Chains A and B, each alone.
Chain A
Amino acid sequence: MGIRFKNTILKVSISAISILAAILIGAIIIASVGENVFVAYGFLLRGAFGNARAIGETIVKATPLIFTALAAVFAYRCGMFNLGAEGQFIMGAIAASWISATLLPFGGWLNTLLSMIIGALAGGVWGAIPGLLKAYRGLNEMIVSILLNYVATLFMAFLYSGPLMEKNIPQTVAIFDDVKLTRLIEGSRVHTGIFVAIGVMIVASYFLFKTAKGYQLRVVGLNPTAANVNGLAVKKMMVSAFVVSGMIAGLGGAVELLGSSYRLMAGFGLGFGFDGVAIALIGQLHPIGAGLVAYLFAVLRTGANTMQIATGITTSVVDIVQAVIIIFAVAATAIIALPGVKAIVNRKWKGAEQ
């Protein structure tokens, strides 16, 4: 067995065990409030997979999470925490809604495409700010990007309750029908945005692991000092990674607007940025892993609603499960990195090989 294969197995099992353990804890909570665990989880699964509509809804919920998780992965691989994916997501959506709702030079799919490109660029600009400040002024990128989330959220509020307000309702005017992303299944909201998400996931994965630039980005992320000594343009790389991370989040915002919400309103994009970071960590900072975990989170969320309606168990149980997954996954990753534990793992493996 090769070392790389072993490492992959190790990482996958960390996430899988964390998820199973968290589900077990969720079961204990459900049982302790006197409900039948199997019934409750049964409804949860039915809510996520029960029919075409449910499956579609899960995918709709997964799509934005995939984008923000990929944004987190991308920045993290270059050694930075992008906690501002939410702001970049919102800025992307604002730009896309501006293009789709007010300017309509071409109409149809071309306009949709343009909206997505402009959305991605807006997210990129929003990501460039913390990136530049980090690389050239040494400011903490986490704080800058978090603060920019507020700026983006409040800017959006200004728009939907001011210049772009629809009559007296605090929301923007809906985008035109012909710019909306095509729905895939009759009776379900699932739209072509999921293909964009999967496309970005595959491209990000390819870029990080199969190109020279992706390799350089990872080198900068793992050891910036050595990267500098070995002639890499560390600061430029950091800024670029943050811009691309912002672009991914911004594209996500555009897709969410064009495929699902159609307008800006209070609560748009709320929490997607932080969920993305958590998902990225559980997904072991791999684009594909992040995509799968984003889907799992969406399953838990759509399922939780059905579970609550059918059994009266509140959706907070699922929030707890999600939180516990995060804690376990992060803790397990840290524990595995301890030299003592590492030695045991290596020994066990050697034993298994003989």
Chain B
Amino acid sequence: MNENVLQMKNITKKFGTFTANDNISISLRKGEVLTLLGENGAGKSTLMNVLCGLYKATGGSIFIKGEKVKISSPKDSTGYGIGMVHQHFMLVEALTVLENIILGKTEDRALFIDRKGTKEKIEELSAKYGLGIDPDRKINQLSVGEQQRVEILKALWRNAEILILDEPTAVLTDEEATGLFEIIEKLTGDGKSVIFISHKMKEVLNISDRIAVLRAGKLVSEFKRGEADGSTLADLMVGRHMVESEYSKMDIDDGVVFSARNISYNKESKHSGLNNVSIDVRKGEILGIAGVDGNGQSELAQLATGLLDPDEGEIFLKGEKVTTFSAKRFIDSGVSHVPEYRNKMGLIGDMSVTSNLILKSEEDPKFAKYGGWMTDAKSARGYAEEQKERFDIRCSSVDQDTGELSGGNQQKVILARELSLTPDLLVAAHPIRGLDVGAAQFIHDQMISARERGCAILLISTDLSEVLLMADRIAVMYEGSIMGIYDGQKPPTSEISQAMAGKVQEPSA
């Protein structure tokens, strides 16, 4: 089977002066799995968004079954048999699987929904590919893995011939991932083609028929199955022989800055609750929280910064029991926060770099005289210029709105603001998500020097390699609970990944 179902030729996509895709050509054959491999920010998602009609390419053309097509909306791409399963699911929680699947399908102009017929067809598809989905269940009763299968089902129901899976395993446990790979095999066996996006080497090598490596917006090379091994691919992905930056690990006990004792929050929920969590973050150490996304990490970050009140349990800051839970209370006790969603939670996109840098300090006499009644624009600006230099924030001027900056520079603005408060505790959630290597390394270096200064850091990341790199101690979260706490100096990686899947090894005794 050598028929090309899809060809993307010389695709270029620019955002302003930034080139996200630079002259990329790929092709996809019937019944194969093509993997797009690359780091965050390499241009994988942009390329797929072009294919799905979410972005308009600056240049290049797309051919479906040899015919040139124009895809300018997601509807067009669905029409050409392209279905995408996004990293973040596009499902309505309160509706059933059936309702979600037929949602927005406008070709069906009937006034009434043919529930029975649709249900039968969905059940048939589900059985055919071993998806195991009951169309009458509500989305909020389903596990993350099941929700993902609903997304696949949705695409199949719309007659997708080409399925794009955007980092599908990022939210799955190892077991669920294995199940997904079986489904992918059935799909390709049936003549469907899959584009698989990932940066996890092992699974890529396992599942792909061909691998296309992207780096900094360019297609660097392409391999057939078995042509390249993991380390070759990793080197290509990063673009240099991977010299992993190494940080020395600490094992000091200089007192506990943040302590959570038997904290529970919304504990019935496996994916957005905490169940009896106890952790300590000590002065001058990085406690890393590892785990698959959606196992209560967001809630932990919010509890540690005063945004949520625990249902049960106690929190101590610098030995003092916390009784009022508000962000202000925690900020006043020296807690800084690099939040999970930098645009939504961290920055005011329509305000300048300067204005964002002085947030939290706007009433500081440095920036406002007479008890805040006369702001000092000049000193704020001078301060912003200083921080711009120190944190290497790349912007056309400190008057530029932060919404116009790249993700890395936005994160630097947040980090500059948070670290300039010389916090005693820094809660950093996914600090390098979506950043390029350089920016990520810069952020990490800054965090390490904060640690050296004696700052306690709670690092939450779904990227295990980041946790392994940074953390002095590693705690693993699974379904709202801490599965175990491991030494960061010689981390038992296999035990940690088992724990991430919810399996705790019994101590061999």
Query: Which positions in A face B, CB cutoff 8 Å?
Result: 2-4, 210-213, 215-216, 218-219, 222-223, 225-233, 343, 346
CA A231 – CA B336 in complex, angstroms? Answer: 11
How many A-B pairs have beta carbons closer than 8 Å: the answer is: 73
Establish whether residues B307 and A222, one from each chain, have CB atoms under 8 Å apart when the complex forms. Answer: no
CA distance in complex: A3, B307 (Å): 35
The answer to whether A3 and B368 touch across the interface, beta carbons within 8 angstroms, is: no
Tell me the complex Cα distance, A197–B270, Å.
Answer: 57
For B16, what are the chain A residues with a Cβ–Cβ distance below 8 Å? Answer: 343, 346
Q: A226-B347, A229-B305 are in contact. List 20 more A-B contacts (CB 8 A).
A: A3-B399, A212-B372, A212-B373, A215-B355, A216-B362, A222-B348, A222-B349, A222-B351, A223-B347, A223-B350, A226-B345, A227-B348, A228-B307, A228-B327, A229-B337, A230-B327, A230-B360, A231-B332, A231-B360, A232-B328
Q: Measured between alpha carbons, how far is A343 from B350 in the docked complex, in Å?
A: 16
CB contact under 8 A between A226 and B346, given known A216-B362, A218-B351, A231-B331: yes
- Asked if A226 contacts B355 (CB within 8 A), the reply is no
Tell yes or no: B127 within 8 A of A by CB. Answer: no
Residues A4 and B344 in contact, CB atoms below 8 Å apart:
no
Q: Is B397 an interface residue (CB 8 A)?
A: yes
Say whether B374 faces chain A, with CB atoms less than 8 Å apart: yes
Task: Give the residue name and chain of the A residue nearest to B342 (CB).
Answer: A226
Report Cα–Cα, A321/B28, bound state, in Å.
Answer: 57
A226 to B305 alpha-carbon distance, docked (Å) = 13
CA–CA, A22 to B479, complex, Å? Answer: 60
Q: Which of B73-119 contact A (CB under 8 A)?
A: none
Interface flags for B386-411 (1: CB within 8 Å of A; 0: not) read 00000000001101100000000000
Chain B residues within 8 Å of chain A by Cβ, number: 35
Asked if A211 and B375 sit within 8 Å, CB to CB, the answer is yes
Chain B 269-308, CB within 8 Å of chain A: the 1/0 string?
A: 0000000000000000000000000000000000001010
**Contact partners of A226 in chain B: CB under 8 A:** 344-348
Chain A residue contacts of B328, Cβ below 8 A: 231-233
Q: A229: which B residues are within 8 A, CB to CB?
A: 305, 307, 327, 337, 339, 345-346
Check if B345 sits within 8 Å of A215, measured CB to CB: no
The CA of A231 and the CA of B359, in the complex, are separated in Å by 10
Chain B residue with the shortest CB-CB distance to A219:
B348
> In chain B, what residue has the closest Cβ to A342?
B404
Which residues of chain B have C-beta atoms less than 8 A from A216's C-beta?
362
Q: How far is the CA of A289 from the CA of B328 in the complex (A)?
A: 35
Q: Which residues of A contact B373 (CB under 8 A)?
A: 211-212
Grouping DSSP codes into helix (H, G, I), strand (E, B) and loop, the B interface class, with mixed when no group exceeds half, is loop
- Given the interface pairs A225-B344, A226-B344, the reply to whether A212 lies near B351 with Cβ below 8 Å is no
Residues of B near A227 (CB, < 8 A) are: 348
Residue of B nearest to A210 (CB): B375
A218 to B401, CA, bound (A): 14
Q: Which residues of B contact A215 (CB under 8 A)?
A: 355, 362, 375
* Cβ–Cβ contact B339 & A212, under 8 A: no
Interface residues of B in 323-368 (CB under 8 A from A): 326-328, 330-332, 337, 339, 344-352, 355, 359-360, 362-363, 367-368
Contacts of B396 in A (CB 8 A): 3
Q: Which of A2, A212, A223, A228 contacts B397 (CB 8 A)?
A: A2
A2 touches B399 (CB 8 A): yes
Q: Give the chain A neighbours of B363 by CB distance below 8 A.
A: 212
| Residues of chain B contacted by A346 (CB below 8 angstroms) | 16
CB distance from B316 to the nearest CB of A (A): 20
Nearest chain B CB to A262 CB, angstrom units: 37
> Beyond A4-B399, A229-B346, is A219–B351 a contact (Cβ under 8 Å)?
yes
CA of A343 to CA of B347, assembled, Å:
22
Q: Is the CB of B348 within 8 A of A212?
A: no
- Cα–Cα distance between A3 and B402 once the two chains are bound (Å): 13
In the complex, chain B residues whose CB is within 8 Å of the CB of A225: 344-345
Bound Cα distance from A112 to B307, whole angstroms: 47
Cα-based distance from A4 to B396 in the complex (angstroms): 12
- Complex A-B: 14 CB contacts under 8 Å: A3-B396, A3-B397, A210-B374, A211-B372, A211-B375, A212-B368, A212-B375, A215-B355, A218-B351, A219-B359, A223-B348, A229-B339, A229-B345, A231-B326
Q: How far is the CB of B331 from chain A (nearest CB, A)?
A: 4
| A226→B414 CA distance, assembly (Å) | 11
Give CA–CA (A319, B362) in the complex, Å: 44
Find the A residue at minimum CB distance from B373.
A211
Min CB gap B462→A, angstroms: 20
Which residues of A are found within 8 Å of B327, using beta-carbon distances?
228-231
Q: Identify the 10 closest CB pairs spanning chains A and B, nearest first.
A: A212-B372, A231-B328, A3-B399, A231-B327, A231-B331, A212-B368, A212-B362, A212-B363, A229-B345, A223-B348
Chain A residues, Cβ within 8 Å of B349:
222-223
Q: Report the Cα distance A232→B374, complex, angstroms.
A: 19
> Separation in Å of the B359 CB from the closest CB of chain A?
5
Tell me how far the C-beta of B352 lies from the nearest C-beta in chain A, rounded to whole angstroms. 8
**Distance of A211 Cα from B374 Cα, bound (Å):** 5
In the assembled complex, which residues on chain B have CB atoms less than 8 Å from the CB atom of A230?
Answer: 327, 331, 359-360
Which of B337, B339, B362, B368 has the most A CB atoms < 10 Å from its CB?
B362
Q: Which residues on the A side are within 8 Å of B307 (C-beta)?
A: 228-229
B434 to chain A, nearest CB (A): 18
Query: In the complex, how many angstroms separate the beta carbon of B332 from the nearest chain A beta carbon?
Result: 8
Residue of A nearest to B364 (CB): A212
Q: Considering the chains assembled together, what is the distance between the CA atoms of A218 and B362 in angstroms?
A: 12
Residues of B near A233 (CB, < 8 A) are: 328
Residues of A within 8 A of B331 (CB): 230-231
Question: Roughly how many angstroms separate A4 CA and B328 CA in the complex, as a whole number?
Answer: 31
A218 CA to B351 CA in the complex, in Å?
Answer: 9
**Cα distance, A212 to B360, chains bound together (Å):** 10
How near does chain A come to B131, taking the closest CB pair, in angstroms? 36
CB-CB under 8 A from A218, the residues of chain B are 351
With CB as the reference atom, state the residue of chain A lying closest to B396.
A3
Separation of A218 and B350 alpha carbons in the complex (Å): 10
Q: In the bound complex, how far is the Cα of B360 from the Cα of A343, in angstroms?
A: 31
A258 to B322 CA separation, bound complex (whole angstroms): 53
